[in-house]
Structure 1
Amino acid sequence: MKKLINDPQNVVAESVEGFVAAHADLVIASDNPEELFVSRAGGAVQGKVGLVSGGGSGHEPLHAGFVGVGMLDAAVPGPVFTSPTPDPILAATKAADGGAGVLHIVKNYTGDVLNFETAAELADAEGINVRAVVTDDDVAVQDSLYTAGRRGVAGTVLVEKIAGAAAERGDDLDTVAEIATRVNAGARSMGVALTACTVPHAGKPSFDLGEDEIEIGIGIHGEPGRRRIPLAGADEITDLLLGPIVEDLAVTSGDQVLLFVNGMGGTPSSELYIVYRHARAQLEAKGVTVARSLVGNYITSLEMQGASITVLRLDDELTALYDAPVHTPALRWGV
C-alpha cells in the first residue's frame, strides 16, 4: 500500500484539519474531536432551513466539500467507509439549526440510516424539527451487504445542490424536503470499477479484479455489481451503464435532463469526458435534451479507477435551483 498518510488511524482527523485550514473562509471544524463535523464559517443562518449530510469518509469531496452557501450547512465525516455515530450527527444538527428546522440528507446504507434516525430523535427531544430524505439512486442492485434497497450514490450530490438552493431562497422545511425527495425520485445512477481501492487501515485492496476485468454496477464502497466482464472500450462500457438508467427512469423523447459523469477518484478527467461524450450522444439520439452537465470527481471511492453516470430528469424549477449560486470548496458558480 502506497498512500500519503501518517498513521492510518489518523487519516480522517488529519485530512479534515488540512481541509478546514485550506478553506477557512468557508468552513470550520467542530471543537470536540470526539464529535467531528464541518460546518459553515459564521455559523447557522437564522431563519433558514439547515441541511446536514454525512457518512463514511473516503468519498471526498462528498460531503464536507459541499458545505457552504447554496448547499450544506454541516457535514459529518465518519471513519473511512464507516458511518459516523449519532453524537457527531446530533452536534452537527445543532450547529446547522437556524430556527427553521433541519433536513438530513442520508445515503441509503444501513449504518447511515440508523445513526441519522437516532440523531434526529435526540434532536427532536431538544426541540429541533428534523426531517430526513434518504437517497437511493443506484440502479445496479436492489440489495447489497450494506443496504436494504437501492444504494445512495452520485445522485446525492444533486439532491444536496438543489435542496440547498431551495433552503437558501427561504423555502420552509416541508418544501425543502419535498424538493429533495423529488430530485432523488428523478435521478438514477450506475457505476463501473476498473480497479479496486485500498482502505488505509486494511492495507490491501477491498476486492480482487483481474488485470483484464471490470465490475459493472459497483458500489462506492466496493460492493459487488451486476456482473464482472472483460475490459471493453469506453463507448461499450458507457452503454452498459446508461442503458439500465434510461430504462429505469423511463426517459423519453422531449425530456430535459442533467447528465452527470462522476469519477471514482483515480480516473483522469480526459477519460470522464470520453464517457460523457458518448452518453450525451446516446441520449440526444433518443430525442432527450441534455440541458445541464456536470463532469468530475464529486463522490469518489478513495483511489478507485472508474466512473458513474447519473441522469436527472429536470423541470423548470429544478433547473433554476441547480443554476442558483453556490459557493463551497468543491462546487462554485454564480458568486
Structure 2
Amino acid sequence: MLRRIGLGAALLALIGWAADAAPIPGSVQLLGSWIVQADNDASGKFAYCDATRDGGGALVHIGQSASGGWQIGFTNASWQFAVGQDVTVTLFIDRVPYPLVLRTASPTTLSTPLPDTSLVDALRQGDMLTLQLGAVYTTFALDGSAAAINAAASCQQGYAASAAPPPASPAPSSQAAAQPPAVSAAPVATPTPGGMPPEVAQEVSNLQSNCQVMNKTPPPVGDYVTRIGLTGSGIDDWLINTGGITCAGLTGGGGGGSMVEIFVGLPNGHARKVFARYALGVEIRGSTVWLGSRGDQCRGSAAVPPAATKTCQVPLVWNKGTQRFDEGSPTNAQ
C-alpha cells in the first residue's frame, strides 16, 4: 500500500521517474492505493499526469504526457543503473507477457513511452501486474487501476487544455487593410466517411483493427458511435461506446462495463477527446449522457449515502471553464 512508504516518499519517487519534473501543487488525488498527480517540466510547463502505486518497495507509474502519449515507468530505491541505459524486461498482466525495453531516466528509475494504448487498456482491465527484471519478479495489484488511469487521463486533458496557447489577437484596425487575411494555425480537417473528424475516424479504425486481429468482423459503426451535440456550441460531438463493438476488447475494465469516450467537435472540423472511462451502460437523455456506474462512483451526494450501493447512474456535466465533462451527482442507486 502507498501508505506504507508515505505520501512524501511516493511524490519524491514520482519526480525521479522524469528527472526534471516537479509536482503541480493542488493536483494530487488519492484513489484507494493509487496516487494521481500532474507534473511540470524543468521550465515550469505542464509535462504529464500519472497514476502511481506501490509494489512492496517499488513503484509503478502509468502516465500520459502533455502531447497525449502514454508512458510507463518503475522506481526502486535499491536500483543503481547508469542513466541512459536500455534494460530489457517483461511485464506480465494476468500472466500475459509484454516484453519491453525500458530506459533509465535516473539510477533508480526505468521508463518508456508506449506506441499505442493496448498496454494501458490491459492495465485498466487486469488484476495483477508483474515486472520481471532478470531473475527478480515484482508484483503490483491492479485493483482500482481503471479509475486511477482514467483520472490520470482526465488530469492530462484538463492541464493540456489550460496550457494551450490563446488565439492570436487581431491586428489593429489601422493596419487591417495592409495585412493579408489571417490564416488559422490549425488546418481544416478533411472530411471522412460519415462526416467524422479525423480523430474520431482514427479511433474507430483502431477499434476495427483490434477486431480484425481477433479474426472478427466489426459491427456497423452506428452500433457504437453516436453523433450528438453535448456542449451547446452548435458543433457536433461524438460518443464512442465500445459496448457495441465488443470484439475490440475494451470491456470488463474496473469490475465490468465498456469503455466510453467522448470527442468534442472543434470549429476547424477536428475533434478533441475530453472524456474516457469504463461504464456499465450509456443512456442519452436530451443532450445529457448518463453512465451506468458502480462502487465509489455511486457515492457523491446526500441522497446517495456511502452504504452498500451496488449500481447507479451518473450524469456528465459540461464544464465550460475546464473544457471537459465533470461527473454529477449519482441517481437511481440500487
**TM-score, length-scaled by structure 2:** 0.33
Larger radius of gyration: 2
**TM-score, length-scaled by structure 1:** 0.33
- Please identify which structure carries the higher strand content: 2
> More relative contact order in 1 or in 2 (CA 8 Å, sep 6+)?
1
